[in-house]
């Protein structure tokens, strides 16, 4: 049956060939004519009139090209047709001249058709895979033909408009392209990351991409914070030293400028715009009546909202990109092979990078491929995996207990006099936590080697484990912090009472002494005023200190662990007993999981701390900026690629997922403190209020009544409950729909796969059933093939006798025949003409000058 | 038009514009580039279509092609004699196909020709090996090359003849996301 089909195909093709042949002969005739004409043209020279008419005609062709351009276009088409017919009617001799036939109606129709065909040919000529010479000839021929039978067209008004439109669309396209180029040029560090990627593979590059993304996010956050909170306070608020909260207290003034104090973010730093306490509680400031407290609260909440939005949107986009993953699994290697080289590259350095990156990506795919084929003792591996997980759980539990123990101890220490404690006892918690952070990840990595996962999966496990570790640390830290805050709140209450009592006392004394009700405020220097501990600033300071120490640790680790190590390995290698580079210390690998998690948790710190220390966001931007340069330098200078280079998982949603989780976790304490803890009475924008969100309520009350009414209605439980229900329903519905789509998608993919397999099977079966025929035919090609390899090998710079080896592959004896058959079939195929017959290739250049009647068709015949 | 020296007649320019994806200006620029390659060989006056060809070595040295691992193949594919001698027509043709505006089908045909090292209208394993070695500067081991080539053929070969015909190639390349963006040279 399939053979029948094939035969049918063959017949069809032959027919087509015959048709084409007849057409070609017709064309040949006309070509001769056109040649004649072109000679005439040359004889006449460039007469201006002729050139103009030609131009007009081409304009008209252009019009045709941009088909579907509204009504006027159609009208013109009609006009054209009319003209064609009229011209052919009015001047019967002209067609008779060329075709030497008289006119009948059918012929006119045929002629019209031909004209249309030619026009179409002119329009699509540039898309045809023909040689330029042939194209030019055909163009001329077609144009002459059209001109002859169509006559020139007068100028219309619509055309100018149309030309204008075409020009505008062209301009628009160009502008868009330029804009796109500009946009990509604006993305920073593209080349740096590309360089890293080409040397270390996409997995390491994914960290830097993530870092860059973070930098962008933080830049926006910084913009919000700086523009809406910090800048207004600096520009319009009271200056330093005007009120107590903006002044260093008297007993701290002596050391306020010491480096150690400043470095600890005490002294002047503590009473600066960096921290919560500096901000004044004036309802509105400056000439613009800027409501700073409100802006402070809304910006802090807005930062969370914006981050949430961005993270989720990025996740969704990533999911979309990874969505059609089934399709890409189909042609991993062939796409890599045929589309990975960027033909635009013209810079030797870039080219080298590209070579390296292509090689790396091939290696990645090879590792993936081999991983798929691996098949080993599954029981042993399962046991090892369970065992490894057990070990890791043990170490996680151990570290958790250690932190708990240390925090307990530190609470005991806190009750003692700080003067009697040693430095170690003071900083025990931080010390133990960073020690755990340093020791545990390598430990996990060592244990993970038992599991023998694919590096990509191993990375995920590693990330998840370290994530759990860090999370434990973070929350222990937070609980310790909140304990401290509660203590401070107690202390504050007593101080508040004391100050109020003192103030009251002062007023009572003053009024009784001077016997007046008009009491001036007590004349005390702002530095001497008794003040509360201002727990918000204390918390902010903790976060800033933590961030800074984190930066120090990271940078030092890189400097010592990577740079110094690489330095020693590189230069001590000359005088050492064993090979340092290949042996024990060797060069470090880039620690992706640790760095990613460091970044994620750092971001969590920023989110949490931004409320208490608005300057933290700015610090973080600086940190990310330096980190980008420093780390990309370090990785290029002192790291070696991973032993098994592996591809980053397609969707970076794993990172994003962690970020989202951290965002949520860092949202909790901030919202808790906003909603339940009462703000300090004498510092920060919310001082004097019972709760921080009172600012919002105040603002609403200050607004016109109807807005207040609206808010009351909206906050009515009767309205909120249905809204929540509605949202849940919507989520449920969308979820179901997306699942259905996913199902449909997989079904379609399955179908496609099946169709492909079917096709393959069909062809294969055909091969086997036709074995006898093939064997018979197998004798044929040798005759015809004999001259070809010789001819073919000539143009190649590298001589390889491979054409033959493929043909006579063992086990596929029949294949050669098919090649031959298909080639002969392919010859008349109009798509093939570009391929040259081997005949004229070696010929003298003089040979080339003579016109070749049908260049494309030479191939099959040359073979014969 | 504004040129003091006529390189092309208006008709020629229009014809070129109809046959390629270039504008008049670009064609003139292409000519100047072509002229720069060998000022003593290429005439400035192209009105009477002089017969002049530049050898492969000269064209491959253009900065646009210099770093391309397939430069020889590109030029050979576009030359009429298969040796890499390009006339101006073929030169324009080459950059037209490689221009941004050229459609995917056209590009696919020429890409196929470029990767077809032994000019037999099939991409067989040897072609793939050569392609791969050019792409990676021969940094993969022979086993890896073998594996990659086998995989590539397995993926894209529809008719099971262990080599890629144009149909296979087109089917594969038409779905490649990067093909259009990478298979293009801006001049």
Q: What CA–CA distance (Å, rounded) separates A401 from A476?
A: 11
Note the pLDDT tens digit of each residue in A13-65: 555 544 544 444 444 444 444 444 444 444 444 344 444 444 444 444 444 44
* Residue A288 is assigned to a structural domain of this protein: yes
| Residue A552 φ then ψ, to 5° | -60, -45
Please return the burial class of A368, using the count of CB atoms within 10 Å of its CB with bins 0-12, 13-18 and 19+: middle
Residue of chain B whose Cα is closest to the Cα of A840? B81
DSSP letter (8 states) at residue A521: P
Query: Rounded to whole angstroms, how far apart are CA atoms A408 and A812?
Result: 77
Produce one character per residue of A729-760: b if its CB has 16 or more CB atoms within 10 Å, e if not.
eeeeeeeeeeeeeeeeeeeebeeeeeeeeeee
Tell me whether residue A719 is in a domain. no
Among A135, A339, A760, beta carbon nearest to B160:
A760
**Å from B109 to nearest chain A CA?**
7
Q: Give the gyration radius of chain B's Cα atoms.
A: 18
Please tell me the distance in Å from B135's CA to the nearest CA on chain A. 6
The C-alpha atoms of residue A638 and residue A144 are separated, in whole angstroms, by: 69
A837: distance to nearest CA of chain B, Å?
9
Verify that A600 and A580 share a domain, yes or no. yes
| Residue A293 and residue A353 in one domain | yes
Q: Which long-range contacts (CB under 8 A, 24 or more apart) does B116-121 make?
A: B117/A796, B117/A798, B117/B73, B118/A792, B118/A793, B118/A796, B118/A800, B118/A802, B118/A803, B119/A792, B119/A795, B119/A835, B119/A838, B119/B82, B120/A792, B120/A803, B120/A819, B121/A823, B121/A826, B121/A832, B121/A835, B121/B165, B121/B166
Q: How far is CA A586 from the centre of its chain?
A: 34
- Which of B98, B117, B135 lies nearest to residue A337, judging by beta carbons? B135
Q: A341 and B96 in contact by Cβ < 8 A?
A: no
Helix (H) or strand (E) holding B166: helix B166-173
What are φ and ψ of residue A570, in 5° steps?
A: -70, -45
Using the predicted structure, report yes or no on whether residue B147 has a pLDDT greater than 80: yes
Q: What angle do CA A626, A627, A633 make, to 5 degrees?
A: 95
Q: Which residues of chain A have pLDDT under 50?
A: 1-8, 17-18, 20-101, 152-156, 323-326, 779-864
User: Could you say which of B89, B140, B178 has the minimum Cβ distance to residue A339?
Assistant: B178
> How far apart are alpha carbons B51 and A848 in whole angstroms?
10
- The residue written with tokens 């994806």 in the block is B21
The distance in angstroms from the start CA to the end CA of chain B is 22
What pLDDT is attached to residue A216? 93
Last residue within a domain, chosen from A186, A207, A237: A186
SS3 per-residue string spanning A259-314? HHHHHCCCHHHHCCCCCHHHCCCCCCECCCCECHHHHHHHHHHHHHHHHHHHHHHH
Q: Are A587 and A641 in contact (CB under 8 A)?
A: no
Q: Clarify whether residues A699 and A765 are in a common domain.
A: no
DSSP state of A648: P
By C-alpha distance, the chain A residue nearest B84 is A795
Does B117 reach chain A within 8 Å, measured CB to CB?
A: yes
With an 8 Å Cβ cutoff, are B132 and A337 in contact?
yes
Domain that holds residue A114: 107-186
Helices A132-150, A105-124: crossing angle, 10 deg rounding: 140
Question: Last residue of some domain: A162, A186, A210?
Answer: A186
CB A230 within 8 A of CB A615: yes
Query: In the listed set A670, A688, A704, which residue is the last one of a domain according to the structure?
Result: A704
Dist. CA B177–CA A296, nearest whole Å: 46
B122: chain A residues, CB-CB within 8 Å: 819
User: Using a CB cutoff of 8 Å and minimum separation of 24, what contacts does A687-691 make?
Assistant: A687/A245, A687/A281, A688/A281, A689/A281
**Residue B90, pLDDT score:** 87
Q: What are residue A142's phi and psi, to 5 degrees?
A: -65, -40
Q: Which of residues 140-169 of B touch A (CB under 8 A)?
A: 140, 144, 147-148, 151-153, 155-156, 158-166, 169
Indicate if A696 and A765 belong to the same structural domain.
no
CB A233 within 8 Å of CB A280: yes
A329 part of contact set with chain B, CB < 8 Å: no
Beta-carbon contacts of residue A25 (< 8 Å; ≥ 6 apart)? none
Token pair for A828: 């008349």
Q: Is A587 helix (H, G, I), strand (E, B) or coil?
A: coil
At A703, is the secondary structure helix, strand, or coil? Answer: coil
Distance, CA of B46 to CA of A766 (rounded, Å): 55
* Domain annotation covers residue A647: yes
Question: Closest chain B residue to A799 measured between Cα atoms?
Answer: B118
pTM, whole model, 2 decimals? 0.64
A283 with A209, same domain? yes
Contact at CB, A795 and B162, closer than 8 angstroms: no
Chain A residues touching residue B66 (CB < 8 angstroms): 346, 348
Which residue among B63, B80, B122 sits closest to A131, beta carbon to beta carbon?
Answer: B80
Q: Where are the domains of chain B?
A: 10-98, 104-182
Cβ atoms of A623 and A629 within 8 Å: the answer is: no
- Which residues contact residue B38 at a Cβ distance below 8 angstroms, ignoring those fewer than 6 apart? B54, B58
pLDDT value for A849: 42
Collect all residues of chain A within an 8 Å Cβ-Cβ radius of residue B137: 355, 359
Of the candidates A23, A11, A259, the one whose C-alpha atom is nearest the C-alpha of residue A830 is A23
Q: Which of B9, B20, B117 minimises the CB distance to A796?
A: B117
Helix (H) / strand (E) containing A445? helix A428-448
Are A228 and A290 spatial neighbours (Cβ–Cβ below 8 Å)?
no
Do residues A156 and A221 both lie within one domain?
A: no
Interface of A with B in 787-816 (CB under 8 A): 792-793, 795-798, 800, 802-803, 805-806, 809, 812, 815
Considering the domain architecture, whether residues A688 and A617 belong to the same structural domain is answered as yes
CATH architecture of B104-182: Orthogonal Bundle (1.10)
* C-alpha distances out from residue A385 to A93, A447, A453, A458, Å: 92, 9, 9, 11
Domain total for chain A? 3
- Chain B residues with CB under 8 Å of A834 CB are 109-110, 113
* Contacts made by residues A501-509, CB under 8 angstroms, sequence distance 24+: A502/A530
Question: Angle, nearest 10°, between helix axes A48-65 and B10-19?
Answer: 20
Interchain contact B4–A (C-beta under 8 A): no
Q: Give A285's strand partners.
A: A290
Q: Do residues B158 and B147 lie in contact, with contact meaning Cβ atoms separated by under 8 Å? A: no
Q: Which of B52, B89, B119, B163 to mutate to test the interface with A (most CBs of A within 10 A)?
A: B119
- In total, the C-beta contacts within 8 angstroms joining chain A to chain B are 237
pLDDT in tens, A683-723: 888 888 888 888 888 888 888 888 888 888 888 888 889 99
pLDDT at A78: 44
Tell me what the pLDDT averaged over chain B comes to: 84
How many Å lie between the alpha carbon of B157 and the closest alpha carbon of chain A?
Answer: 8
Burial A384-394 (b: 16+ CB within 10 A, else e): ebeebbebbee
Report CA A431 to chain centroid distance, whole Å. 38
Subunit contact A335:B68, Cβ cutoff 8 A: no
CA distance A81 to A104: 17
Q: Name the residue in chain B with its Cα closest to that of A757.
A: B158
Residue ranges of A 115-154 with Cβ closer than 8 A to chain B: 122, 125-129, 131-133, 135-136, 139-140
Q: Name which of B53, B121, B137 is nearest A826 (Cβ-Cβ).
A: B121
Q: Are A645 and A363 in contact (CB under 8 A)?
A: yes
> Which of B67, B80, B160 lies at the smallest CB-CB distance from A348?
B67
Q: For B136, which of A359, A826, A834 is closest by C-beta distance?
A: A359
Q: Note the pLDDT of residue A650.
A: 58
pLDDT of A699 reads 83
A200, A635 Cβ separation under 8 angstroms: yes
Q: Are residues A175 and A294 in the same domain?
A: no
Q: Specify the pairing of strand A588-589 against strand A639-640.
A: parallel
Concatenating the DSSP letter of every residue in B17-70 gives: HHHSS--HHHHHHHHHHHHHH-TTTS-S--TT----EE-HHHHHTSHHHHT-TT
Domains B10-98 and B104-182 share a fold: yes
Which residues face A640 on adjacent strands? A589
pLDDT for the residue numbered A376: 63
The ipTM value here is 0.89
Measured at the CA of A590, the angle between CA B139 and CA A385, to 5 degrees, comes to 95
A331: contact with B, CB 8 A cutoff = yes
Topology (CATH) of B10-98: Recoverin; domain 1 (1.10.238)
Tell me if A694 is assigned to some domain.
yes
Task: Note whether residue A100 is domain-resident.
Answer: no
């Amino acid at each position: 049956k399939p053979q029948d089909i094939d035969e049918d195909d063959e017949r069809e093709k032959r027919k087509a060939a015959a048709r084409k042949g007849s057409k070609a002969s017709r064309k040949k005739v006309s070509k001769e004519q056109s040649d004649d004409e072109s000679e005439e043209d040359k004889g006449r020279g460039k007469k201006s009139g002729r050139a103009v008419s030609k131009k007009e005609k081409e304009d008209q062709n252009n019009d045709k090209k941009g088909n579907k351009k509204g009504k006027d276009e159609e009208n013109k088409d009609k006009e054209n047709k009319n003209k064609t017919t009229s011209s052919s009617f009015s001047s019967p001799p002209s067609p008779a001249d060329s075709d030497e036939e008289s006119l009948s109606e059918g012929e006119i129709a045929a002629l019209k058709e031909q004209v249309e065909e030619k026009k179409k040919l002119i329009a699509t000529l540039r898309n045809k895979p023909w040689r330029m010479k042939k194209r030019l000839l055909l163009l001329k021929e077609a144009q002459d033909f059209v001109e002859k039978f169509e006559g020139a067209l007068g100028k219309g008004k619509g055309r100018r408009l149309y030309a204008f439109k075409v020009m505008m669309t062209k301009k628009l396209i160009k502008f868009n392209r330029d804009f796109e180029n500009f946009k990509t040029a604006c993305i920073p560090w593209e080349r740096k990351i590309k360089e890293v990627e080409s040397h270390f593979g996409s997995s390491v590059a994914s960290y830097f991409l993530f870092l860059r993304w973070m930098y962008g996010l933080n830049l926006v956050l910084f913009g919000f914070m700086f523009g809406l909170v910090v800048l207004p306070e600096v520009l319009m608020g009271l200056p330093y030293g005007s009120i107590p909260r903006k002044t260093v207290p008297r007993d701290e003034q002596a050391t306020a400028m010491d480096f150690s104090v400043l470095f600890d973010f005490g002294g002047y730093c503590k009473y600066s715009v960096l921290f919560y306490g500096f901000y004044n509680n004036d309802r509105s400031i400056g000439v613009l009546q800027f409501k700073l407290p409100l802006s402070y609260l809304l910006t802090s909440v807005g930062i969370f909202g914006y981050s949430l939005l961005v993270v989720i949107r990025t996740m969704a986009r990533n999911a979309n990109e990874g969505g059609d993953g089934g399709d890409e699994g189909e042609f991993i290697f062939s796409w890599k092979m045929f589309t990975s080289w960027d033909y635009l590259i013209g810079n030797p350095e870039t080219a080298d990078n590209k070579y390296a990156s292509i090689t790396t990506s091939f290696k990645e795919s090879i590792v993936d491929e081999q991983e798929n084929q691996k098949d080993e003792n599954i029981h042993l591996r399962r046991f090892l995996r369970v065992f490894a997980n057990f070990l890791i759980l043990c170490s996680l539990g151990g570290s958790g207990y250690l932190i708990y123990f240390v925090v307990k101890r530190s609470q005991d220490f806190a009750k003692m006099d700080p003067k009697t404690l040693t430095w170690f006892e003071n900083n025990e918690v931080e010390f133990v936590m960073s020690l755990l952070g340093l020791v545990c990840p390598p430990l996990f990595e060592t244990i993970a080697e038992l599991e023998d996962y694919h590096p990509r999966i191993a990375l995920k496990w590693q990330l998840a484990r370290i994530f759990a570790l860090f999370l434990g640390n973070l929350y222990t830290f937070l609980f310790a912090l909140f304990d401290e805050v509660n203590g401070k709140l107690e202390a504050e209450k007593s101080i508040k009472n004391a100050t109020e009592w003192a103030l009251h006392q002062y007023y009572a004394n003053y009024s009784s002494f001077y016997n007046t009700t008009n009491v001036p405020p007590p004349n005390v220097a702002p530095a001497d005023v008794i003040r509360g501990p201002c727990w918000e600033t204390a918390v902010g300071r903790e976060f800033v200190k933590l961030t800074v120490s984190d930066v120090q640790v990271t940078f030092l680790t890189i400097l010592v662990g990577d740079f110094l190590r690489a330095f020693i390995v590189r230069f001590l290698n000359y005088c050492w007993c064993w090979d340092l580079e290949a042996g024990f210390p060797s060069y470090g690998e880039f620690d992706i999981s640790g760095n990613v998690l460091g970044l994620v948790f750092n971001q969590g710190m920023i989110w949490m701390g931004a409320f208490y220390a608005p300057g933290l966001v700015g610090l973080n931007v600086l940190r990310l900026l330096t980190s980008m340069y420093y780390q990309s330098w370090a990785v290029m200078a002192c790291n070696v690629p991973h032993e098994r280079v592996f591809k980053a998982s397609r969707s970076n949603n794993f990172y994003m997922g962690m970020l989202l989780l951290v965002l949520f976790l860092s949202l909790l304490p901030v919202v808790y403190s906003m909603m339940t803890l009462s703000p300090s009475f004498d510092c920060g924008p919310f001082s004097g209020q019972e709760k921080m969100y009172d600012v919002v309520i105040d603002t609403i009350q200050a607004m016109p009544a109807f807005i207040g009414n609206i808010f009351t209605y909206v906050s009515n439980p009767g309205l909120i409950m249905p809204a929540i229900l509605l949202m849940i329903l919507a989520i449920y519905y969308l979820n179901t729909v997306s699942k259905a789509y996913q199902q449909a998608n997989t079904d379609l993919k399955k179908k496609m796969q099946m169709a492909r397999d079917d096709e393959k099977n069909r062809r294969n079966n055909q091969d086997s059933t036709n074995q006898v025929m093939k064997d018979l035919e197998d004798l044929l090609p040798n005759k015809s093939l004999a001259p070809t390899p010789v001819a073919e090998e000539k143009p190649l710079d590298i001589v390889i006798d491979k054409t033959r080896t493929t043909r006579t592959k063992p086990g596929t004896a029949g294949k050669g025949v098919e090649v031959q058959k298909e080639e002969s079939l392919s010859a008349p195929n109009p798509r093939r003409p570009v391929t040259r017959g081997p005949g004229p290739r070696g010929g003298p250049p003089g040979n080339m000058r003579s016109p070749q009647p049908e260049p494309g068709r030479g191939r099959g015949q040359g073979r014969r | 038009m504004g040129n003091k020296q006529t390189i092309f007649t208006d008709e020629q320019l229009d014809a070129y514009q109809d046959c390629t994806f270039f504008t008049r200006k670009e064609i003139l620029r292409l000519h100047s580039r072509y002229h720069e390659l060998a000022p003593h060989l290429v005439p400035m006056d192209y009105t009477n279509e002089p017969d002049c060809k530049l050898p492969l070595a000269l064209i491959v040295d253009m900065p646009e092609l210099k770093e391309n691992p397939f430069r020889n193949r590109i030029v050979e594919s576009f030359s009429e004699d298969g040796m890499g001698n390009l006339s101006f027509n073929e030169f324009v043709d080459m950059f037209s196909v490689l221009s941004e505006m050229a459609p995917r089908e056209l590009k696919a045909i020429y890409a196929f020709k470029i990767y077809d090292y032994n000019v037999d209208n099939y991409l067989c394993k040897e072609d793939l090996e050569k392609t791969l070695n050019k792409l990676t500067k021969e940094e993969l081991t022979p086993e890896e090359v073998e594996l990659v080539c086998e995989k590539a053929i397995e993926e894209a070969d529809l008719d099971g003849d262990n080599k890629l015909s144009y149909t296979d190639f087109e089917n594969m390349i038409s779905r490649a996301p990067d093909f259009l963006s990478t298979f293009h040279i801006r001049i």
